[in-house]
């Protein structure tokens, strides 16, 4: 999780629960309450809470990208080997 002391943290995101836990860990690493983070990120408190819990699988991809960028994440995709 964030705060491991490495210069670059990478996460394998396989479902919304993992994504939510990474977002929550980053928020806590930044010492932001849910209310503070929702204001800073420009999203509703409930949306952020549900996303952190992995309960918001229907959130728009634009909203999720915006949250990730504002939390300081870069999003990269790597194709899996098929052989």
Domains and CATH numbers, the chain: 16-70 (1.10.260.40)
Question: Is residue 66 over pLDDT 80?
Answer: yes
Question: Is residue 76 over pLDDT 70?
Answer: yes
Q: Is 52 exposed, middle or buried (0-12, 13-18, 19+ CB in 10 A)?
A: buried
- pLDDT at site 81: 80
pTM of the model: 0.82
Other C-beta atoms lying within 10 Å of the C-beta of residue 78: 7
Encoded tokens for 74: 């870069």
Of 77, 62, 82, 73, give the one whose Cα is nearest residue 12. Answer: 77
Of 75, 82, 41, give the one whose Cα is nearest residue 51. Answer: 41
pLDDT tens digits, one per residue of 4-42: 444 467 888 888 999 999 999 999 999 999 999 999 999
Phi, psi of 50 (to 5 degrees): -65, -40
């Amino acid at each position: 999780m964030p705060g491991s002391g490495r210069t670059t943290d990478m996460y394998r995101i396989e479902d919304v629960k993992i994504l939510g836990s990474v977002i929550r860990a980053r928020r806590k690493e930044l010492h932001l309450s849910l209310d503070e983070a929702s204001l800073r990120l420009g999203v509703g408190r409930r949306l952020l809470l549900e996303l952190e819990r992995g309960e918001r699988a229907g959130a728009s991809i634009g909203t999720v990208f915006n949250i990730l960028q504002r939390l300081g994440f870069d999003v990269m995709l790597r194709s899996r080997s098929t052989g």
